[in-house]
Structure 1
């Protein structure tokens, strides 16, 4: 579960990137976080993950306040950033093993998890190569593997499908569904609204730091008395903001 209560963040003391945000993402749900560029999505995600501090409000990950106990909170989630260009000089296996070290995953368990993840993402033959030799999609996959190797309860994914080939994209969406169906939480941002419409249990649309809508896609259609696609409703909702 992810809980945000009264969360705000301003830059330069003037522009409020996130404005008094209240949001609850319960267990057992794939939650899509949608918004145009500059809407406050990345700022919100960086506050949830503890990369930046909010000016006001409280953020809890599975009941743990990330400001009061950041180590405990960060042990509970895995975070895929919007850029996979990390630790480029390491080999793929070195990077995933490094992530397993950080989270204290035992050797036998990590070996099993790395093999399982590598098979699902077709990365077994690439683990011995340096990350800088990888394509963008392969870098994305190795970052995802590093995030998932400690089997976090909460997944926080910022544009995770970017650069993935169709098979790997399908695999990740399948894994997201499995994770939510096992009673855990998946929070992800995406610009691909067709994916959000098909995959998400609920979505929130943010613009100029405020939540314009939060709920299921059928609830959105009912609210706006429309049978249009999520993409059409999103564009209509954000065009005048």
Structure 2
């Protein structure tokens, strides 16, 4: 097979796997539209703030089509997350033939663990962080104010927080990959620990609402997961050294 034919065959395979990923997303999206429905999905997302609001208070929609579009967008994002493992599997199947055996052994656990950790970060944010943060904000608000959160602003806030916490839980994976590739050493990671702690609180101050509680909820996991990453990086580093020898 000539180089050009080989290149074309790779493009065809890439197209086929992209189509499969899109079909998987579409199937999940249509399924969620039928059951449990976008309205139910949004109600589940809104549960933390609804629990913190005064009794009888509801969220508002300031746009004409907002009550329709926001749940639909949310459903699409949920469908993307649920179909992500299949999408990553397609990506893995495409790149795996070009990897060495030891790279395959490393790549598959990283893909799996990064997906799981991202979902754990989202779950941690939704079930633990939101309840505490919204309750704190509501208790801090003056009695003369009646909270009436807009659903579009709420969804934007929630998705930003989900992304922040999801990426936070990827810290161990990032550390392990950097060590495995030889970009940074274990000793250097330990040496810059203090800078990482400062950076964690700076990032938390930028990403989260301006209250101490939510900032701590983001910064502390970053610091802990950084240490977890160093621990696993030591194990991976030993394996890599054995392979090189």
The structure in which a higher percent of residues are helix is: 2
TM-score when scaled to structure 2? Answer: 0.24
| Higher share in strand | 1
Larger RCO (CA within 8 A; separation ≥ 6): 1
Structure possessing the higher radius of gyration over alpha carbons: 2
